[in-house]
Amino acid sequence: MSQGPRSRPRVADTDPTRDIAFDIVLGVVEHRRMLETSLEHSPAAKDADARDRAAAHRLAATVLRHMGTAGMVLEPFLKKEPPAPVRVVLLIGVAQLLLLDTPAHAAVGTAVSLARRRGLTPFAGLVNAVLRRVAQAGSGALEGLDQARLDVPPWLWSSWGELARPVAEALGQEAPLDLTLRPGAAGPPDGIILPTGSVRLPAGTRVADLPGYADGAFWVQDAAAALPARLLAVRPGERVADLCAAPGGKTAQLALAGADVTAVEREPGRMARLRENLDRLGLIERVVTVQGDAVAWRPDIPLDAVLLDAPCSATGTARRHPDVLWIKRPRDLAALTAGQDRLLAAARDMLRPGGRLVYAVCSLQPEEGPERVRAAIAMGLEPDPFTLEELAALPEARTPEGWLRTHPGLWAEQGGMDGFFAARFRRR
């Protein structure tokens, strides 16, 4: 008795989580778009609900956080490099199999369906065969791999020197949620108070659901990001500028310390976010906001202090934004540091003689740290080192020169922190 032709495996009509994750990862690796930008560009994300978008974000971030390891797992099972979209499907499959504990049949089946939905049907058999072999190998596929080193591009690993290993090991973990409290406000009941005063909650906590959020009792700010504004040590009534101010956490710190703050931000979208945050915190009437280029803006009267959190490579934020590892290139640093020097010179010109400047970047790159200190000194700014007393809560972050250097490997057992460099100067 003859059998009819075999029916083709049914392709899932929709799978928004994996479709969005595919768009995100492909946007990062092929177009060098940031994760959040890729999410907004994803056609699949436009009509997806919040749960699917959140699940896709987590899946894509896991792929990006462990992309070097996942690529090495695939290598023995591939005779030649597949096209970039096919490789993204395979990376998503590996992440599900080995990092997210997705059942093998689901991880393989959804990857094959994803390939077909994305017009990659000629490669569906390859995806099926490779991922089945990965599933058979199981956790053994990870044995002997130096995952920390594989998951950081070689140029970044080399640039981080002795910090490379502790930083890379910390980047493998999802970052917790850190909050800065208004003076006198109570933090969420489950929060852990860190030595620097920030309150820490587990990764994945939804800040908008926390009691006190709508009332402006706190704002999201990594424990390391909260330090530069404190180290500016403003006093009530001082005239202060916060340059490149969005999203506004540092502006809020300065205003709540009693300073007369002007917040300068160039990008309209970021300025809208800054004002929205200040409004929630009840500070919108206490801060002058200026949408404009900080290089060109000047105050009417010379200032007592300036906080410059300059645009940078953002490699210190890779725990939260693993896409940074894969979209930045060494050649990007030249333009970034030139912009930082222009901002340093502008900040100098805003200050009265003896006025203070804190320069900060959320970067681990030496070009955006010590080398900018030397450039600032050449501009006529005088170093004003942070004291042991000022960094008593985090003494390991004080360099021999008196600068601040945090990195994700600090407080590793408590969840780490972002990488920041900061230095303080006075105008001669």
The pLDDT tens digits for 65-97 are: 999 999 999 999 999 999 999 999 999 999 999
pLDDT at residue 4 greater than cutoff 70 = no
Task: Report yes or no: 131 and 111 within 8 Å, Cβ to Cβ.
Answer: yes
Dihedral (Cα; 117, 122, 127, 128), 10-degree rounding: 90
pLDDT at residue 46 greater than cutoff 70 = yes
What is the predicted pLDDT for the residue at 1? 39
* 359 found inside a domain: yes
Report the binding-site residues: 244-250, 265, 293, 309
The pLDDT tens digits for 225-260 are: 999 999 999 999 999 999 999 999 999 999 999 999
* 186 found inside a domain: yes
* 10 found inside a domain: no
pLDDT at residue 384 greater than cutoff 90 = yes
Cα 180 to Cα 193: distance, rounded to the nearest angstrom: 10
Least confident window among 6-10, 134-138, 191-195, 281-285: 6-10
Residues that are catalytic: 362
pLDDT at residue 51 greater than cutoff 60 = yes
* 166 found inside a domain: no
The pLDDT tens digits for 287-333 are: 999 999 999 999 999 999 999 999 999 999 999 999 999 999 999 99
* 273 found inside a domain: yes
Kindly state whether residues 188 and 56 are assigned to the same domain: no
Kindly state whether residues 267 and 128 are assigned to the same domain: no
Report the binding-site residues for S-adenosyl-L-methionine: 244-250, 265, 293, 309
pTM: 0.92
SS3 content of the chain, % helix, strand, coil (to 5): 45, 15, 40
Least confident window among 6-10, 11-15, 90-94, 273-277: 6-10
Kindly state whether residues 138 and 226 are assigned to the same domain: no
Which residues are CB-neighbours of 41 under 8 A, at least 6 positions away?
23, 27, 33
Kindly state whether residues 138 and 199 are assigned to the same domain: no
Domain total in the chain: 2
What is the predicted pLDDT for the residue at 13? 65
Cα 221 to Cα 41: distance, rounded to the nearest angstrom: 26
The domain that holds 376 is classified in CATH as 3.40.50.150
Task: Report yes or no: 423 and 403 within 8 Å, Cβ to Cβ.
Answer: yes
Kindly state whether residues 300 and 261 are assigned to the same domain: yes
Mean pLDDT value of segment 107-136: 97
Domain of 88, in residue numbers: 16-151
Kindly state whether residues 122 and 184 are assigned to the same domain: no
What is the predicted pLDDT for the residue at 11? 47
Kindly state whether residues 216 and 122 are assigned to the same domain: no
Kindly state whether residues 223 and 92 are assigned to the same domain: no
What is the predicted pLDDT for the residue at 47? 87
The domain that holds 70 is classified in CATH as 1.10.940.10
* 188 found inside a domain: yes
Kindly state whether residues 323 and 406 are assigned to the same domain: yes
Kindly state whether residues 127 and 215 are assigned to the same domain: no
pLDDT at residue 5 greater than cutoff 60 = no
Kindly state whether residues 382 and 278 are assigned to the same domain: yes
Q: Considering the chain, what percentage of its residues have pLDDT values greater than 70?
A: 97
What is the predicted pLDDT for the residue at 3? 43
* 32 found inside a domain: yes
Kindly state whether residues 228 and 355 are assigned to the same domain: yes
* 393 found inside a domain: yes
